[in-house]
């Protein structure tokens, strides 16, 4: 395992693909907004999937702002390829992307962007976005730009990303206490620290607070130089809907900046679930107008509605579907709402959990839609329900679907109970008509952006992999042979550099620089959890005697004894991409 491994990752990670675009929209010489995209390595100007998707995402939304002029520019700079000549990425790596052909390309982009933003069109505002090498151009240029002219700057797969909350490999703050950088928009891996070419620090200038956001796909090896990195994730920003996700967030910034109403709404799937026990008749009559308003506004926005009612499984009354996302029309919904019969209901708790789980499971939810359940009930719920459904089951299904946000209208006595469902699904609880009115507006105005961090769950008393010892022997003037006897995978670090993930009990470390202290750190990994590291100092036994040495062996012990091993770790779950508007 040598530094050549890192260089190979760089060559792969910085690889740029050429795809088939064009450029302007409703514009004038100096429009109100100029959308500037900076393409990645090797991409042809105006003819890349990234630029086309960026342009499409904003054009879809800018039609809702007819009074604002705008145009699109794919920045004119070299965007040098790293695939045609392998010396380019190698020299980029060793210079941190600051010198040689790659650095010259970035600097040309910086100069072009500076001239565009700070030069002509003093009243034009800018939205900036860059992918890969283009993201680096934007990040490097920001300190020289007039922040008042920038509405927002978004980077995708930035090789110079910096997120301090991911710095501690074993206990990154992002994983454990939720401490996240303000500019972190979508970086699902809580270990993400810096990019493959290092990092710009500070990443976001102080005068750009609230105006910079980063999107680093799950295991993108370019913006997250993890040993578990994936070149596929670096190429998937279009297919994973991340430009669409960014456009929704930035469009909201645009409407705020110009003081106009955000009339853009994404597709909606809204399921209305009504408790039909006898005591509910007067309550539903009170809320019926708001329920109809929500349904009609959803239909008008191109969304879909479903209607169910429920009581108690104890009464042998199973959740009843009145109409689903296919059969509900404004007329059918209104008629079915009037047709619900309110009767029975012996004990107070009802089978809400079972009804919600059943309804979510039965409906066919639309990919890319904002998904909501609006429930109206004056009673609590069985926990667990009579068919053994529990709160965790409902919340887990909601999240798997996208999530489905739960908005629940109930008696004030049950607010705390229903918050256990509403809060983890990003919904809310209401207790009166005015609150439901606000919830309806929230649902229709809501655009769902991707989570800044992947969901995680706590695993108690995990069986952590244990590495017992490491045997190290110097084999020449700058190389060591390492054997462990461990049969699983090992993560290998030399000083602060991760050399890679190997699946061998023995390996060699070469190119050791003895002008500094060298600490070898080896971590067992079972595919789910990391065990404790063993650390060994690599000592030069040839320092005074360059004849063939006796074998030098260090028997190292774990940095923690098995009894001290932390009894809690996190399993990181890759979320599906929610609410991206993709078809």
Q: What is the CATH number of the domain that holds 512?
A: 2.60.40.10
Phi then psi for residue 6, to 5 deg, are -65, -40
Tell me whether strands 471-476 and 479-483 are parallel, antiparallel or unpaired.
antiparallel
Is 328 found in the same domain as 236? no
Output DSSP code: residue 153: E
Is 315 found in the same domain as 215? no
Domain count of the chain?
3
Evaluate whether residue 350 is within a structural domain: yes
pLDDT for 578 equals 34
Is 213 found in the same domain as 82? yes
Q: How confident is the model at residue 462 (pLDDT cuts 50, 70, 90)?
A: low
User: pLDDT digits over 204-246, tens only?
Assistant: 999 999 999 999 998 899 999 876 777 888 999 998 889 988 9
Domain of 398, CATH number, reads 3.40.50.410
Is 491 found in the same domain as 436? no
Domain of 240, CATH number, reads 3.40.50.1820
Is 476 found in the same domain as 334? no
Residues of the domain holding 143: 24-258
**Mean pLDDT calculated for residue range 473-499:** 83
pLDDT for 28 equals 64
Q: How confident is the model at residue 372 (pLDDT cuts 50, 70, 90)?
A: very high
Evaluate whether residue 524 is within a structural domain: yes
Evaluate whether residue 8 is within a structural domain: no
Could you tell me how far CA 251 lies from the centroid of its own chain? 18
User: pLDDT digits over 130-170, tens only?
Assistant: 999 999 999 999 999 999 999 999 999 999 999 999 988 77
Is 297 found in the same domain as 234? no
The residue with greater pLDDT, 407 or 175, is 407
Evaluate whether residue 370 is within a structural domain: yes
Is 306 found in the same domain as 245? no
Is 234 found in the same domain as 115? yes
pLDDT for 270 equals 94
pLDDT for 456 equals 53
Is 436 found in the same domain as 312? yes
Residue 543: CB atoms within 10 Å? 9
CA 494 to each of CA 1, 114, 272: distance values in angstroms, whole numbers, following the listed order = 11, 39, 57
User: pLDDT digits over 426-445, tens only?
Assistant: 889 988 877 788 887 878 77
CA atoms within 13 A on the CB side of 418: 29
Q: How confident is the model at residue 308 (pLDDT cuts 50, 70, 90)?
A: very high
pLDDT for 347 equals 62
147-174: burial string, b at 16+ Cβ within 10 Å, e else: eeebbbbbbbbbbbbbbbbbbebeebbb
* 412 has pLDDT over 80: yes
For the ranges 281-295, 343-357, 506-520, 532-546, which has the lowest average pLDDT?
Answer: 532-546
Is 237 found in the same domain as 202? yes
Evaluate whether residue 461 is within a structural domain: no
Evaluate whether residue 580 is within a structural domain: no
Sequence length of the chain is 583
d(CA 23, CA 287): 49
* 577 has pLDDT over 60: no
pTM of the shown model:
0.65
d(CA 575, CA 536): 37
pLDDT for 513 equals 83
Evaluate whether residue 1 is within a structural domain: no
CA 356 to each of CA 218, 272, 341, 378, 581: distance values in angstroms, whole numbers, following the listed order = 31, 10, 19, 16, 25
* 448 has pLDDT over 80: no
Percent of the chain clearing pLDDT 90 (strictly above): 47
**Strand segments (E) across 61-204:** 70-74, 125-131, 150-156, 184-186
Is 190 found in the same domain as 110? yes
Is 282 found in the same domain as 228? no
* 569 has pLDDT over 50: no
Evaluate whether residue 579 is within a structural domain: no
Which own/partner contact pairs does 2-6 have at CB distance under 8 Å and 24+ positions apart?
Answer: 2/499, 2/508, 2/509, 2/510, 2/511, 3/499, 3/511, 5/499, 5/500, 6/93, 6/497, 6/499, 6/500
246 touches 312 (CB < 8 A): no
pLDDT for 241 equals 86
CA 507 to each of CA 1, 101, 530: distance values in angstroms, whole numbers, following the listed order = 7, 35, 19
**Mean pLDDT calculated for residue range 286-304:** 86
User: pLDDT digits over 268-277, tens only?
Assistant: 899 999 999 9
Among the listed residues 18, 21, 127, 139, the one whose alpha carbon sits nearest the alpha carbon of residue 80 = 18
């Amino acid at each position: 395992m040598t530094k050549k491994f890192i260089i190979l990752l760089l060559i792969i990670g910085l690889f740029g693909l050429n795809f088939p675009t064009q450029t302007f929209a409703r514009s004038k010489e100096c429009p109100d907004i100029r959308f500037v995209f900076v393409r990645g390595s090797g991409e042809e100007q105006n003819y890349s999937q990234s630029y086309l998707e960026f342009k499409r995402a904003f054009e879809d939304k800018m039609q809702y702002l007819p009074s604002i002029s705008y145009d699109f520019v794919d920045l004119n700079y070299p965007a040098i390829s790293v695939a045609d000549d392998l010396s380019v990425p190698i020299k980029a790596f060793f210079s941190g992307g600051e010198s040689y052909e790659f650095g010259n390309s970035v600097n040309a982009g910086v100069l072009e962007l500076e001239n565009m933003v700070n030069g002509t069109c003093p009243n034009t505002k800018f939205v900036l976005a860059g992918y890969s090498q283009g993201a680096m151009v934007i990040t490097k240029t920001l300190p020289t730009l007039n922040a008042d002219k920038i509405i927002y700057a978004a980077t995708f797969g930035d090789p110079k990303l910096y997120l301090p909350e991911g710095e501690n490999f074993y206990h990154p703050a992002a994983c454990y206490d939720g401490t996240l950088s303000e500019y972190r928009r979508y970086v699902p891996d809580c270990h993400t620290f810096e990019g493959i070419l290092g990092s710009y620090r500070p990443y976001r200038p102080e005068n750009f607070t609230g105006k910079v956001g980063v999107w680093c796909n799950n295991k993108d090896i370019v913006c997250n130089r993890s040993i578990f990195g994936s070149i596929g994730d670096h190429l998937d920003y279009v297919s994973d809907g991340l430009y669409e996700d960014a456009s929704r967030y930035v469009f909201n910034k645009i409407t705020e900046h110009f003081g106009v109403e955000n009339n853009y709404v994404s597709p909606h799937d809204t399921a209305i679930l009504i408790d039909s026990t006898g005591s509910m008749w007067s309550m539903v009559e009170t809320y019926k107008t708001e329920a109809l308003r929500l349904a009609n506004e959803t239909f008008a926005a191109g969304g879909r509605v479903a209607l169910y009612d429920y009581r108690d499984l104890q009464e042998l009354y199973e959740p009843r579907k009145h109409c689903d996302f296919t059969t509900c029309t404004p007329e059918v919904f209104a008629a079915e709402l009037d047709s619900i019969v309110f009767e029975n209901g012996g004990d107070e708790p009802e089978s809400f959990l079972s009804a919600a789980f059943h309804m979510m499971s039965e409906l066919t939810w639309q990919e890319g839609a904002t998904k909501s359940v609006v429930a109206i009930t004056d009673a609590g719920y069985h926990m667990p329900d009579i068919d053994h459904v529990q709160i965790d089951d409902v919340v887990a299904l909601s999240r798997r679907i996208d999530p489905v946000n739960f908005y629940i209208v109930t008696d004030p006595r049950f607010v705390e109970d229903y918050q256990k469902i509403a809060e983890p699904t990003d919904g809310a609880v209401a207790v009166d008509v005015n609150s439901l009115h606000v919830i309806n507006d929230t649902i229709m105005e809501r655009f769902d952006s991707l989570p800044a961090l992947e969901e995680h769950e706590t695993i108690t008393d995990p069986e952590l992999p244990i590495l017992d010892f490491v045997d190290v022997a110097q084999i020449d003037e700058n190389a060591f042979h390492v054997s462990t006897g461990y049969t699983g995978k090992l993560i290998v670090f030399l000083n602060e550099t991760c050399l890679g993930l190997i699946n061998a009990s023995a390996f060699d470390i070469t190119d050791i620089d003895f002008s500094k202290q060298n600490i070898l750190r080896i971590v067992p990994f079972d595919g789910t959890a990391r065990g404790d590291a063993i650390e060994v100092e690599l000592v030069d036994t040839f320092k005074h005697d360059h004849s063939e040495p006796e074998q030098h062996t260090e028997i190292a012990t774990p940095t923690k004894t098995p009894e001290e091993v932390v009894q809690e770790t996190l399993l990181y779950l890759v979320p599906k991409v929610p609410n991206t508007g993709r078809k």
